[in-house]
Structure 1
Amino acid sequence: NWSGNRVTCRDWFQLSLKEGFTVLRDQSFSADLNSAAVQRIDDVNGLRSMQFAEDAGPMAHPVRPDSYIEISNFYTVTIYEKGAEVVRMIKTLVGDEGFRKGTDLYFDRHDGQAVTTDDFVRAIEDANSIDLSQFKRWYEQAGTPEVAVETHYDELQKSLRVVMSQSCPSTPGQETKLPFLIPIAIGLLDQQGNRVAMQLAGEIDAFEGDTRILSLTETTQTYEFINIDEEPVVSLLRGFSAPVKLNYDLSNHQLAFLMANDKDSFNRWDAGQKLIINVILDLVATIQQGQALLLSPLLISQCKAILTDNDLDPALIAKMLTLPTENYIAAQMQVPDVDAIHQARDYVKKQLAVALMSDFNACYERLSNKKAYAFNSTDMAHRSLKNLCLSYLMASGDPLQVQRCLRQMKMADNMTELLAGLRLMVDQAGPEREHALRSFYEQWKHDRQVIDKWLAVQAVSQLPDTLIRIKGLMKHESFNIKNPNNVRALIGAFCRNNPIHFHAKDGSGYRFLAEQIMLLDELNPQVAARMLGALNSWRRYDSERQHLMKAALEMIANKQDLSADVYEIVTKYLAVK
């Protein structure tokens, strides 16, 4: 393993040197093997949901940390996933060929050595005659930068001004931040969705590609594009060219346009997600005001167009029609309204299911072919879309869909379709649910990895008795509190991926987590410390939930003989205001 063993890190502070690089290589391999767009969406989904939250919390730390109490607490998404994004940005800045030259030099120069992130960056610089001094702030500064964008079209001058400003919130130990070097991938579209040539003022020739890279290095920079015949639609941060939060005010109609027409598949998906989030947040406000709900016809029409587009990659369709998670929606609110988010998201899914019932049904039937299972990108894409359709059909409330779901489980010759059916059945109260769970367990109880999936799907059930069932499962023969995989599958999945029950108003979810962490601290302090991540953002919630989460944290902090792993995290959680 060249990026992890042949050249390794000089000390623990350099951990991302090998881990970030190796994560990028793994992501690149998966992108080449399957759909590059879908892989990128998966990568960014994980980064936004986990790493952005870490950057915004009391455990925020740079990709190259300055200090630690327990190094095990720095095997984090910042070191791994954000570290991969930092290396990816270097690749974006120097291009594929330049990156290959730089990494070849790095391996030739340092084979068999233990080195630093500075050595890696220096090899890229030397191979490409480029200065990345400012870029190294990505290794030194914690937090997620925010990029605000304003655009101004001058019809008389036929020019477009794009004004970008960057900032980065304070993080523990770092009150102020210097400007980053941020690669911004940009594209312009005309009103018909065609590419617009991009020529900056002062350039002799226009850039003819779909996407060009702008390097944002100052607090505020202005870019002027000339020879633009009509006001274009601007597509920013294509391919998620930098791990930043983009603040660019687009109307729902503009987002719908990008969802339908953007040449960058990632940005098509991202525009759709932003449109869905806008709709859900509007519904949250409506719920808070006690008014009747009504789903946006614009969203229905856009989803129908995507679902019925036979030229679009089925795997991308499945991603575009998957609603953002409740946790991610909560991250878009100043103070998350857990219950209203849950209600609004469920409403959107059910209304889309009812409005597009015939389309989901037709798509599901078309993909329900009888050919034998094969592991290839085409069949994987078909299975993902088929399962997406089934999830909407089940959300419609039509009781006949339960039988369809059970039939899929019975006929499945692959774990993807079997588990998809089980995930849907755990939200159905009644004997069919119990039969599905029992049958699955009896068939797969010999396979520990599969049984972890069986535990995890029950942990995220939306039924009201979920926490009671989880406590019961902890006494089941399949569960062992000393098995970290069991713990992550059952307790971890509940606390991180079941917000409506974990954030129950009575605090039962928080007390449950605190009790398990105190028990785990005696058995496996590293796992106990990881479980604390579910309380990372406790100060963002309403005052009642803050009080309950703080009580849970204090319960843990007051435990006698607390491990250093848990002590480091819980004290930081309680200390940061």
Structure 2
Amino acid sequence: MRTDTGQIIHLADYRPTDFVLERVDLTFELDPTATKIEARLIFHRREGTDPTAPLILDGDELSLSGLLIDQNEIPAERYDVTAEKLVIRDLPESTPFEVTVITIINPEANTQLMGLYRTNGVYCTQCEAEGFRRITYFPDRPDVLAPYTITIIADKAANPLLLSNGNFLGGGNYDEGRHFAAWFDPHPKPSYLFALVAGDLGVVEDTFETMSGNEVALKIYVEHGKEPRAAYAMDALKRSMKWDEERFGREYDLNIFQIVAVSDFNMGAMENKGLNVFNDKYVLADPETATDQDYANIEAIIAHEYFHNWTGNRITCRDWFQLCLKEGLTVFRDHEFSADQRSRAVKRIAEVRHLKAEQFPEDAGPLAHPVRPTAYREINNFYTTTVYEKGSEVTRMIQTVLGRDTFKKGMDVYFERHDGDAATVEDFVKCFEDASGKDLKQFSLWYHQAGTPLVSVSTAYDSASQTFSVSLEQTVQATPGQPNKEPMHIPLGFALLLDNGSLASASSVKGGDVTGEVLHLTERAQTFTFGGIGSRPVLSLNRGFSAPINLHFEQSSTDLLHIVRHEPDLFARWQALTDLALPVLMKATRDVRDGRQPEPQAELIATLLEVAADDTLEPAFRAQVLALPSEADIAREFGSNNDPDAIHAARQGILADIAKAGQATFETLFTSLVNEGDFTPDAASAGRRALRNAALSYLSYLDGGATRAAEAFASTNNMTDTIQALTVLAHRFPGQSETANALGAFLKRFQDNALVLDKWFAIQATIPGASTLARVKALMEDPHFVASNPNRVRSLIGSFTFSNPTGFSRADGEGYRFLAQQILAIDPKNPQLAARLLTSMRSWRSLEPSRAAHAEAALSEIDKALSLSTDVRDIVERILKG
């Protein structure tokens, strides 16, 4: 089943392979331009299949050098071969047989960074989703599992390190100047989890004792000289292993666990069994070069890839339609881990911010698809926030519906029942049904229906009967291929807050299922009536963001303020403040657009300052509150006819008003939260820095803002504060000498550190305003811009297109034309990177008509190109069609 020919692959067409793969033996003779791979594959014909069916193996730009069956050459008339397919006929019918395939590939020329490639002198693989077929002809699909034995032969001086999956069998000298290493992975795995790394790298070593007393060797490989910057990653790994034992009872199962950090990588990281390969930005950290967000990302992604050992590796997905079964589930697990390591409330706010900024627009646009899609043209394009983040939310809702203890029982059933399997979403859900005795058929619509549900809410209080009624109605908009939607099972966390701030307790509930503090909306419309409520309560709904929905609930500012001051759930407090701020920001945007002066917003400002000054609240939470809804949040609320310049100007005006009113508060926060002692990346310290830097941002709107930011930049002792001060200078004062001096000093200090330079590029790419396009073009000519490095391209072009609405969506359409040119230039070299950059155009129809016309013209320019990868062709056609 090919995905790069442009054909549509359908879930309904799934069937098992005709042949069962029993064992894989691979021998690599590494050479920069002519690597030889000998693959010895043991097959037997699946019982009940057509005895004349040929063996069909996938390839991608391959050249066949040799082909044998049971060590005998196959006559040419018994096989057909192209660069993309190998078909072998007249095969043995009953007994296992061995197919030997020999290919020659050029790792140095592999700019796609899929399969086996060579970067900075290091051989590296990336095989998910379909990269293994760029190494050898193979049944390259996730339901083909087998144990692997790997032998690697390479020049000893250039490649002292030879790594692969599993346990090390041994190695030694091979011939003059070369050596070998052999590895064996006893756990059957699909080809997408294969990994090989060879080169000359430094190592950080440690050990971990599992809950049953086994000692595991831990090794993290990085470029020489960078070993100290891997210490936090090692600490995060050990905490992840311990947490997975305690929370889910999952123990590591090999003698060794290895991580390799490389600089040229399309993804964040890859969970290859026992040998994770990471983009080095998610491994390397120290106070001088990494921000608090970098530390948090490293912690989360190290955990995510380790947790895949069970949710993805030991139990993998039957086909790529089930991708959420490993990714969404594992995102849920890493979210829970991070929440336990840090502030659960603040982590939840950050998760929801990301979900609403990335996944909600995806669900509302032409790229919408179900968490478990039913068709795809290019599987690389379905590594989306819907599969990952919404998939995580669906898992979270299962826990909410069943309760934490029953959810844990369901996970235990899943691990026991499907260990060693390639499973489906239906298999997963069935485990929870069996553990709980509940029918989850309706709930499973979350996997099958695209779109974000809208829940409309109204309430009524009857003092005579002491009843409080909550009326709910759900709708899900039409999405591509799904015009009609069925009612979902939506679990809504709730609380009823009385005048004194206490929680009301109902004597009875009618109208639907209520378990604990959760309303279960299962019909198109339902009314829940609570009895024994002595006074009118304030309803707090969807606490903790229990369901990934939009709420239409016209609560008064008085009620929202009551939630802000009294809700025990900090997420609900933040949401109430957001609900206060968004209408204000939208009204100000309309005023700016229509040439009116926005009105003062005393109530919102007073509330924000009240929260900012409240020392009983953790600093990280207060920093989240002060961030206000983003320009993207405002655009999403409008939904259509968006003018990015008006949104930016309106938001800037509100921020300036808050700064003026809260000058004393912000000066106090900035001076009182000054760093003392050495930098530590713990959550409490990070929260203090976040609040102090939020204060610095507001102070930049006052007289002397540039001078204050320049002084802050000069006096920092950690990258978090350095980046924030530099961002304030660049974004607020782009044309002033203080900014030019700071950007120059930063470049001079960190010009030899690629990851830190990515931050330098990103800060400049996100300077608001139309003139930034010229800056981006100039930076592309900078000697430090490396067009072959995905991180560098994402830091400059990606930051500009995804995170700079006024710069990218400039009124004359030049930003869109620029992106079109970049897509056409990048696509022949790295289709995955090009396709992901192109998704920044997914919401073009929500723009005001003039900008939308420019965007459509740029998309049409891409669409008309004579030669496009399937990755880009798929995205551009879906965006235009939608």
Partner deviation per Cα, 1:519-569 (whole Å, 9 max, x = no partner)? 111211111111111111111222111110110000000111111111111
By how many angstroms is 1:202 displaced?
A: 5.7
Number of residues paired by the alignment? 569
Q: What percentage of residue pairs aligned between the two structures are identical?
A: 42
Partner deviation per Cα, 1:499-523 (whole Å, 9 max, x = no partner)? 1111111111111111111111121
State how far apart, in whole Å, the 2-side matches of 1:282 and 1:352 are. Answer: 16
By how many angstroms is 1:406 displaced?
A: 2.3
Q: Decide which of 57, 62, 74 is 2:370's aligned counterpart.
A: 62
Aligned partner of residue 544 in structure 2, secondary structure: coil
* Matching of residues 154-553 of structure 1 within 5 Å: 154-201=462-509, 212-333=517-638, 334-396=640-702, 398-399=703-704, 401-427=705-731, 428=733, 429-462=735-768, 464-553=770-859
State how far apart, in whole Å, the 1-side matches of 2:675 and 2:809 are. Answer: 41
Partner deviation per Cα, 1:156-207 (whole Å, 9 max, x = no partner)? 111111111111000011000111111010101012322111343369xx99
Q: Match of 2:425?
A: 117
Q: State whether structure 2 residue 342 is matched by structure 1 residue 46.
A: no
Which is richer in helix? 1
Which is richer in strand? 2
By how many angstroms is 1:417 displaced?
A: 0.9
- The alignment's TM-score, normalised by the length of structure 1, stands at 0.96
Q: Match of 2:152?
A: none
Q: Residue type of the partner of 1:5? A: N
By how many angstroms is 1:260 displaced?
A: 2.2
Q: Match of 2:398?
A: 90
State how far apart, in whole Å, the 2-side matches of 1:154 and 1:110 are. Answer: 52
State how far apart, in whole Å, the 1-side matches of 2:829 and 2:470 are. Answer: 55
State how far apart, in whole Å, the 1-side matches of 2:710 and 2:508 are. Answer: 58
Aligned partners of 1:260 and 1:302 also within 8 Å: no
- Structure 1 stretch displaced more, 343-352 or 194-203: 194-203
By how many angstroms is 1:123 displaced?
A: 0.8
Partner deviation per Cα, 1:17-72 (whole Å, 9 max, x = no partner)? 00001111111111111111110011111111110101111111111111111100
State how far apart, in whole Å, the 2-side matches of 1:553 and 1:363 are. Answer: 47
Partner deviation per Cα, 1:402-429 (whole Å, 9 max, x = no partner)? 2332232222222111111111111212
Aligned partner of residue 523 in structure 1, secondary structure: coil
State how far apart, in whole Å, the 2-side matches of 1:199 and 1:151 are. Answer: 18
Aligned partner of residue 311 in structure 2, secondary structure: helix
Aligned partner of residue 606 in structure 2, secondary structure: helix
Radius of gyration: which is bigger?
Answer: 2
By how many angstroms is 1:277 displaced?
A: 0.9
State how far apart, in whole Å, the 2-side matches of 1:11 and 1:248 are. Answer: 40
Aligned partners of 1:187 and 1:234 also within 8 Å: yes
Q: Match of 2:329?
A: 21
Aligned partners of 2:474 and 2:525 also within 8 Å: yes
By how many angstroms is 1:77 displaced?
A: 0.5
Q: Residue type of the partner of 1:45? A: R
Q: State whether structure 2 residue 308 is matched by structure 1 residue 3.
A: no
Unaligned runs of 5+ in 2: 1-308
Aligned partners of 1:54 and 1:60 also within 8 Å: yes
State how far apart, in whole Å, the 2-side matches of 1:464 and 1:425 are. Answer: 18
By how many angstroms is 1:257 displaced?
A: 2.4
State how far apart, in whole Å, the 2-side matches of 1:198 and 1:156 are. Answer: 15
Higher relative contact order (CA 8 A, sep 6+): 1
Aligned partners of 2:563 and 2:573 also within 8 Å: yes
Partner deviation per Cα, 1:115-161 (whole Å, 9 max, x = no partner)? 01111111111111111111111111111111111111111111111
Aligned partner of residue 827 in structure 2, secondary structure: helix
State how far apart, in whole Å, the 2-side matches of 1:529 and 1:227 are. Answer: 57
State how far apart, in whole Å, the 1-side matches of 2:353 and 2:819 are. Answer: 25
By how many angstroms is 1:463 displaced?
A: 5.0
- When the two chains are superposed, the root-mean-square deviation of aligned CA atoms in Å is 1.5
Q: Decide which of 116, 130, 137 is 2:445's aligned counterpart.
A: 137
Unaligned runs of 5+ in 1: none
Query: Kindly tell me: are residues 157 and 466 of structure 1, through their superposed partners in 2, closer, same or farther at Cα, counting changes over 3 Å?
Result: same
Aligned partner of residue 4 in structure 1, secondary structure: coil
Aligned partners of 1:252 and 1:278 also within 8 Å: no
Aligned partner of residue 186 in structure 1, secondary structure: strand
By how many angstroms is 1:291 displaced?
A: 2.5
Q: Residue type of the partner of 1:78? A: T
State how far apart, in whole Å, the 1-side matches of 2:480 and 2:607 are. Answer: 42
- Structure 1 stretch displaced more, 39-48 or 189-198: 189-198
Aligned partners of 2:770 and 2:808 also within 8 Å: no
Q: Residue type of the partner of 2:397? A: M
Aligned partners of 1:8 and 1:115 also within 8 Å: yes
